[in-house]
Structure formats: C-alpha cells, structure tokens
Amino acid sequence: MVYQSIRLAIEDEGAEDRVTIVDYVGWLRDNLLLVELTDDGNVPSPLARVLFNLVRDGRIRIVERGDVGAVGLNGVPRREGIDKEANSIGVVA
C-alpha cells in the first residue's frame, strides 16, 4: 500500500521519478493516512520503518536531491539506499 501511494504521490506531486519526503507526507495526509512529520521534522517511526523495508527490498531509494532540507527517518538505521541528507523518495522498481 505504501509503495503504491509513493507512486501515486510522484504522479501528483513529484518531479520525474521522485517526490520530496515533505510532499509525500502531505499527500498521504490529504489522500490516504492521517500522518504528520514529528515536531522535529522527521518521518514518524512506523512509516519510517515501512520506508526502510522498501529500501531494503530494492523498491525505493531515499535520496538527497536539490536544495530542500533533509528529513530524518526516526528509528531507522543507516543503510545503502538511504542518503545521509535525504529529502526525497524515488521509485526503483
């Protein structure tokens, strides 16, 4: 469900093959799930874990693109496919 929502958000809000994390969370809130960034501007842990699993499975990458500020993923360890200063989600598969 989250993977498909990323694809839909890219179609509605994104540029090329990605959407900023802030725009994605806004799209989720407006269209599918009541979710907000945390007070410190990070992705909440339950959603961050789903995104982590999608990265691990090779379906998305969480990348740094442009000048938009970085958004952290609460409770998620570092791994390949998640840029240190990530601010966007891109679909791989």
pLDDT in tens, 37-87: 999 999 999 999 999 999 999 999 999 988 878 999 988 988 999 999 999
pLDDT of residue 93: 63
Provide the number of structural domains found in the chain.
1
pLDDT of residue 17: 87
Give the tokens for residue 84: 């240190």
| Rounded (to 5) percent helix, strand, coil in the chain | 40, 15, 45
25 pLDDT higher than 80: yes
Domain region containing 56: 2-91
pTM: predicted TM-score of the whole model, two decimal places: 0.91
- Structure confidence by residue, pLDDT tens digits, 11-23: 998 677 899 999 9
